[in-house]
């Protein structure tokens, strides 16, 4: 028979039970917080597993759809064509005038008139500046007076020579008088030549007081105005005239292109087009010179072309893009945006039976918006020009013409 618990012992433990019950609310709160934390962690794990399974299932579904040919990629297409394509050299060139004249004073004086408008077109012989030449005019008059005096003295001396010659023939005067008369006549002849030379020099300098255009072209702004003092020692020119038509376009090409360029010049097929960047209008001309040496430091040769420039498209000093056409040849071309580059080389996507096929190619050069292909295509193939990022070998495509070819 079991023993009945001692009531006294139980009653003695009641204070301890009361103290434990007093701590129960804190214990319940601690248990509640930990329970919620574990529940939230478990819920997060369930959500991650659910989404991972969904993504994995979706990837498997896409892979199955792709393998089954279910995905169709919309792309833009173009054509590989065989046609005549120019062989060109592209370079940066500079426009230089064939003739350029800096106007400077040849006498020390002041400017009295300016006869042109800054930046105007002038023709050869047009009056540009008038200088003050009053001092020179006075010198010319003085020299002309001296010349007239010398001519009068020479006339008197020649009369003396005639008279003394007659007297000597009659033995009426010594021969010494005749010789003196001839000497005096020679002196006056020399004086006339000296005065005439001085007069010609003054007249030549007088002509410098009226400055005219030596060539036809476009004149710069006048660096001096009416009243300015000018002299031959001045460093800055009074104005500059540049010939505008024709002009030169000078540029450099690599030395490896010289044989082809020389052959094109010999065949008279070397033409050039020059354009100012940002402008659609182009100027045409002919290659006129190859420099007789190659720059050993850069391996480049200087080429010069003559441009008619009748409409003044090219301006001296302008940086232009020059395209030299050497010849025209048959080649296969594709739109440049169809060409893709990988680690193994260049390739295009060819559309065959509704599927994209990777076709390796060899690229030679680019002409405008087209690329010349040397191998890999024969012409007539349909190539993808846009949408290549979603393509791989064998993917089905929904082709449509390129934006520029739609109607």
29 pLDDT exceeds 80? Answer: no
Residues 340 and 368 in one domain: yes
Containing structural domain, residue 222: 99-124+216-242
Q: What angle do CA 177, 178, 184 make, to 5 degrees?
A: 90
d(CA 379, CA 370): 13
Q: Determine, yes or no, domain membership for 20.
A: no
Q: What pLDDT score was predicted for residue 54? A: 47
Q: What pLDDT score was predicted for residue 48? A: 55
Q: Determine, yes or no, domain membership for 49.
A: no
Q: Determine, yes or no, domain membership for 38.
A: no
pLDDT tens digits along 340-391? 999 989 999 999 999 999 999 999 988 889 999 999 999 999 999 999 998 9
Q: Which tokens hold the place of 28? A: 């319940």
**Helix (H), strand (E) at residue 233:** none
Which conformational region is residue 354 in: left (phi greater than 0), alpha (psi within -120 to 50 degrees), or beta? left
Mean per-residue pLDDT, 67-77: 75
By CB atoms closer than 10 A (0-12, 13-18, 19+), residue 180 is middle
Q: What pLDDT score was predicted for residue 45? A: 60
Contact 249/304 with Cβ under 8 angstroms? yes
pLDDT interval class at 12 (50, 70, 90): low
Q: Determine, yes or no, domain membership for 356.
A: yes
Residues 171 and 200 in one domain: yes
Residues 275 and 173 in one domain: no
Picking from 192, 208, 224, the residue at the C-terminal end of a domain is 208
Backbone angles phi, psi at 311, to 5 degrees: -95, 10
Residues 248 and 317 in one domain: yes
Domain count, the chain: 4
Residues 181 and 158 in one domain: yes
- Domain CATH number, residue 269: 2.40.30.170
Residues 104 and 237 in one domain: yes
Residues 233 and 356 in one domain: no
- Domain CATH number, residue 103: 2.40.50.100
3 state SS of 321: strand
Residues 360 and 378 in one domain: yes
Q: Determine, yes or no, domain membership for 147.
A: yes
Which runs of consecutive H residues, i.e. helices, occur in 267-368? none
Picking from 302, 329, 356, the residue at the C-terminal end of a domain is 329
Q: Determine, yes or no, domain membership for 269.
A: yes
Q: Which residues contact 229 (CB under 8 A, 6 or more apart)?
A: 108, 109, 110
Mean per-residue pLDDT, 308-326: 93
Q: What pLDDT score was predicted for residue 34? A: 57
Chain centroid offset of residue 276 CA: 7
pLDDT interval class at 36 (50, 70, 90): low
Q: What angle do CA 124, 125, 131 make, to 5 degrees?
A: 125
- Domain CATH number, residue 370: 2.40.420.20
Residues 349 and 396 in one domain: yes
Q: Which tokens hold the place of 2? A: 């079991």
Q: Determine, yes or no, domain membership for 31.
A: no
pLDDT interval class at 42 (50, 70, 90): low
Residues 148 and 203 in one domain: yes
Q: What pLDDT score was predicted for residue 368? A: 82
Picking from 208, 234, 267, the residue at the C-terminal end of a domain is 208
Number of H helices, E strands in the chain: 5, 22
d(CA 337, CA 332): 15
Residues 190 and 140 in one domain: yes
3 pLDDT exceeds 70? Answer: no
d(CA 287, CA 303): 7
Q: Determine, yes or no, domain membership for 277.
A: yes
58 pLDDT exceeds 60? Answer: no
Residues 308 and 361 in one domain: no
């Amino acid at each position: 028979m079991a023993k009945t618990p001692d009531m006294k012992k139980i009653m003695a433990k009641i204070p301890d039970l009361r103290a434990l019950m007093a701590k129960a609310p804190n214990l319940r709160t601690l248990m509640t917080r930990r329970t919620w934390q574990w529940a939230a962690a478990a819920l997060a794990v369930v959500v991650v597993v659910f989404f991972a399974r969904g993504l994995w299932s979706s990837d498997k579904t896409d892979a199955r759809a792709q393998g089954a040919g279910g995905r169709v990629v919309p792309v833009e297409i173009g054509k590989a064509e065989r046609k005549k394509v120019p062989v060109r050299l592209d370079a940066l060139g500079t426009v230089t005038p064939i003739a350029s004249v800096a106007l400077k004073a040849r006498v020390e004086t002041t400017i009295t008139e300016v006869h042109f408008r800054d930046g105007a077109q002038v023709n050869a012989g047009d009056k540009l500046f008038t200088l003050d030449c009053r001092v020179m005019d006075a010198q010319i008059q003085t020299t002309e007076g001296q010349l007239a005096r010398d001519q009068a003295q020479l006339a008197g001396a020649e009369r003396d020579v005639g008279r003394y010659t007659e007297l000597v023939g009659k033995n009426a005067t010594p021969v010494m008088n005749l010789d003196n008369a001839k000497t005096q006549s020679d002196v006056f002849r020399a004086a006339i030549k000296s005065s005439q030379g001085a007069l010609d020099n003054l007249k030549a300098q007088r002509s410098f007081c009226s400055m005219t255009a030596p060539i036809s072209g476009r004149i710069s702004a006048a660096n001096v105005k009416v009243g300015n003092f000018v002299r031959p020692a001045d460093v800055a020119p009074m104005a500059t005239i540049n010939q505008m038509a024709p002009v030169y376009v000078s540029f450099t090409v690599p030395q490896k292109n010289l044989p082809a360029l020389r052959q094109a010049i010999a065949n008279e097929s070397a033409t050039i087009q020059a354009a100012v960047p940002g402008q659609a209008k182009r100027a045409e001309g002919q290659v006129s010179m190859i420099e007789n040496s190659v720059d050993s430091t850069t391996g480049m040769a200087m080429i010069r072309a003559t441009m008619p420039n009748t409409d003044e498209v090219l301006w001296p000093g302008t940086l232009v893009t020059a395209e030299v056409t050497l010849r025209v040849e048959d080649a296969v071309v594709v739109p440049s945006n169809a060409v893709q580059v990988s680690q193994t080389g260049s390739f295009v996507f060819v559309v065959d039976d509704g599927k994209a096929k990777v076709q390796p190619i060899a690229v030679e050069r680019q002409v405008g918006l087209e690329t010349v292909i040397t191998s890999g295509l024969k012409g007539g193939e349909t190539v993808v020009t846009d949408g290549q990022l979603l393509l791989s070998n064998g993917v089905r495509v929904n082709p449509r013409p390129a934006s520029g070819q739609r109607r």
